[in-house]
Amino acid sequence: MKHTVLAVIFATAIAAPAFTKVAFAEDAVCYNCPPEWADWASMLKALDEQAGITMPHDNKNSGQTLSQMIAEKASPVADVAYYGVTTGIQAIKEGVVQPYKPAGFDEIPDGLKDPEGNWFAVHYGTLGMFVNVDALAGAPVPQCWADLTKPEYKAMVGYLDPASAFVGYAGAVAVNQAFGGDLTNFDPAIKYFNDLAANSPLVPKQTSYARVVSGEIPILFDYDFNAYRAKYNEGGNYEFVLPCEGTIRVPYVMSLLADAPHAEAGKKALDFILSDEGQAIWTNAYLKPARPVELPADVAGRFLPDSDYERAVAVDYAAMAAAQAAFGERYLSEVK
């Protein structure tokens, strides 16, 4: 069921009768909710103003978050956590989260949530091509993964090292799926990267947003939100291409911690984050909401059409995580 969101992009405070400001805000602690990422700044402000929940800023990354949760398992400090999907899966194994299904949980697509509610996507990114059109030297904007092996894109393609960077590995999973592989068979990905090697690709180990913006890397395997950020914030000629063969979604997820000291406040925060109003806030950072909320036309127009996004699928993220190390070793030994 879709819902109309009465919001505009870059809104930082959204009227929401269901989330009335209370007289005294309730405190909750979120690990890894940094204001400079994914527009958590607006989310934290909206939680305070609309839901009456105050949460301090926290600049951990996913790995640091899980480590802290494990260290504090006997006496938890945090109430909720935000991290990459594979970290959420590991948190279940470590016994540091508990099931909770906020309002709207049932509308999150299968594959983007733990069925029991131990983690669930709040937004997601989609792997594709981040293209600096002006740096293509007259070559057409590629539309398919296969296009990148053509001679006209020689020395123009970049992807993060899939043996060391998660986004690089996610790109490998995407091309592997696109050419008929699965998480038990990475032969298509190995073949693709060897074919691409003939085009002298650039393979950095760290995030390369600035190198695409500058034109040093004209085409990069990357998330849609980075390409949209460049397109609408940098003032240049940038595009996001969702490859014709298909790709994968990569969710960012949240959990309620086991024995959370302020569990009710944590639950209330998660309810707001999955509400229509909360979901709209993520679009400030060009992230796709986890729920199929209907966005205003001016907001939706900043993304590729929904029909294009139908080519992006969820995968078994637990199996994806389990296969990562072995694929990295194989990539290093077999890709020339």
Half-sphere exposure of 317 (CA within 13 A, CB side): 24
pLDDT > 90: what percent of the chain?
Answer: 83
CA distance 264 to 256: 10
Token representation of residue 228: 């949209």
- 251 neighbors 121 (Cβ within 8 angstroms): yes
For residues 287 and 121, the answer to whether their CB atoms sit within 8 Å is no
What distance, in Å, lies between the first and last C-alpha atoms of the chain? 48
Q: Span 154-166, mean pLDDT?
A: 94
The whole-angstrom separation of Cα 174 and Cα 196 is 15
- Rounded Cα distance, 157 and 147, in Å: 11
**Cα dihedral 39, 298, 2, 86 sign:** negative
Please give the average per-residue pLDDT across 130-151, as a whole number. Answer: 98
The whole-number pLDDT of residue 6 equals: 33
Q: For residues 308 and 170, give the distance between their C-alpha atoms in angstroms, rounded to a whole number.
A: 19
Strands 53-54 and 97-98: unpaired
Q: How confident is the model at residue 12 (pLDDT cuts 50, 70, 90)?
A: very low
User: pTM, whole model, 2 decimals?
Assistant: 0.82
Sign of CA dihedral 294, 297, 301, 304: positive
What is the tens place of the pLDDT at every residue in 196-230? 999 999 999 887 899 999 999 999 999 999 999 99
Query: CA dist 259 to 39, 78, 200, 301, Å?
Result: 28, 9, 52, 42
Return the percentage of the chain with pLDDT > 70, whole number.
Answer: 92
Q: Is the pLDDT of residue 183 over 50?
A: yes
Integer Cα distance of 131 and 158 in angstroms: 10
